[in-house]
Amino acid sequence: MTSSFRKRLLDAATAPYRQAGHFAWHFARGKLGRDPVFFSLLADGAFPPRARIVDLGCGQGLLSNWLTAAGRLHAAGDWPPDWPAAPQLEAYRGIELMPNDVNRALPALPPGAVVEQGDIRDAPLGEVNVVVILDSLHYIEPAAQEAVLERARDALAPDGTLIMRVGDAAAGLPFLLCTWADRLITSVRGHRLGTLYCRPAAEWQRTLERLGFNVRPQAMDAGTPFANTLLLARLKA
Ligand SMILES: C[S@@+](CC[C@H](N)C(=O)[O-])C[C@H]1O[C@@H](n2cnc3c(N)ncnc32)[C@H](O)[C@@H]1O
């Protein structure tokens, strides 16, 4: 991937946030540009060719614009030759607790995408082939985490994919840095952070396997001081 492609994708994915205000646009630039997970999901072909997504704890819905921009660049032939084809975003529904984030998401959403204010502990998840949970499950209590994961599995079509990122509570100082950064970013976004319910990445993996997923863990913190793990989980046939 060249740096000019990187910039074109970032520009296309963040342009819609100009309509959502200064903060939303800068936040989108910072997060999509610096967090390795967004480029990696495309480079690794994490999504099925036609993705119907529910995004739990979606923040300002960055993933919807990221995949829409990727689809446009791919259709225009502007795509790294060593990457799999960009997924086609057939449906995107984000669920987000904080009204501030929902309000930043709404003016920027691509056609057909939806972001709803709700609590992932009880919001209906619908029927999808991808459930995304990026950095949002550790905000809720362990029993609720288990219940969300069970409902995520039940929402998935056969062969469905769960894409989940977690801080690895077994990682020592880099994990502590994750939690400090979480507190800082949460307060910059205008919220207060309560208790966090983190676990070692290996424990998350075991939980998903028990629920019927094949899991591929991948370090997802390149270029950052943090200890984040991406768990790419596919429902066993
Ligand atoms: C660290 S942010 C990640 C946002 C988004 N997944 C991303 O990668 O850009 C975690 C998000 O989860 C949301 N969240 C936390 N608890 C939630 C709940 N119970 N229901 C819905 N959203 C929740 C937070 O408000 C926050 O926007």
pLDDT of the residue at 237: 79
Atom of ligand 1 nearest to the CA of 182: 1
Map tokens 């801080």 to a residue: 167
Which residue owns the Cα nearest ligand 1 atom 8? 134
pLDDT of the residue at 147: 98
Is 101 touching ligand 1 by the criterion CB < 6 Å? Answer: yes
Q: How many helices (H) and strands (E) does the chain have?
A: 8, 7
* Mean pLDDT, residues 195-224: 92
Rounded CA separation 72/123 (Å): 31
Phi first, then psi: what are they for 104, rounded to 5°? -80, -30
Q: 225 or 28: which carries more pLDDT confidence?
A: 28
pLDDT of the residue at 134: 97
pLDDT of the residue at 113: 98
Rounded CA separation 190/54 (Å): 24
Residue 72 has pLDDT above 80, yes or no: yes
Residue 200 has pLDDT above 80, yes or no: yes
CA 87, 6, 60: angle at the middle one, nearest 5? 65
Tokens read off for 176: 């502590």
Residue 186 has pLDDT above 80, yes or no: no
Mean pLDDT score of the chain, rounded to an integer?
94
Residue 194 has pLDDT above 80, yes or no: no
Tens of pLDDT along 104-146? 999 999 999 999 999 999 999 999 999 999 999 999 999 999 9
Residue type, 16: P
Tokens read off for 170: 């077994």
Evaluate whether 163 touches 41 at the Cβ level (below 8 Å): yes
Rounded CA separation 47/223 (Å): 23
Taking the CB of residue 202, how many other CB atoms lie within 10 A of it? 13
Query: What CATH code is assigned to 3-235?
Result: 3.40.50.150
Is 136 touching ligand 1 by the criterion CB < 6 Å? Answer: yes
Q: Is the dihedral of CA 191, 122, 168, 135 positive or negative?
A: negative
Task: Give the residue among 143, 135, 122, 155 at the shortest CA–CA distance from 207.
Answer: 143
pLDDT of the residue at 213: 97
**Residue 92 region by backbone torsions, left for phi larger than 0, else alpha for psi between -120 and 50, else beta:** beta
Q: DSSP characters for 107-139?
A: GGPPTT-EEEE--TTTS---SEEEEEEES-GGG
Q: Which residues share a beta bridge with 130?
A: 53, 161
pLDDT of the residue at 145: 98
Q: Which residues share a beta bridge with 94?
A: 55, 115
Is 163 touching ligand 1 by the criterion CB < 6 Å? Answer: no
Given ligand 1 and candidates 34, 41, 136, which is best to mutate, with the most ligand atoms within 8 Å of its CB?
136
Cα–Cα separations (whole angstroms), residue 104 to 29, 38, 109, 232: 14, 19, 9, 28
* Mean pLDDT, residues 150-167: 95
Q: Is the dihedral of CA 217, 51, 223, 61 positive or negative?
A: negative
The number of angstroms, rounded, from the C-alpha of 128 to the middle of its chain's C-alpha atoms is: 15
CA of 76 to the centre of ligand 1 (A): 32
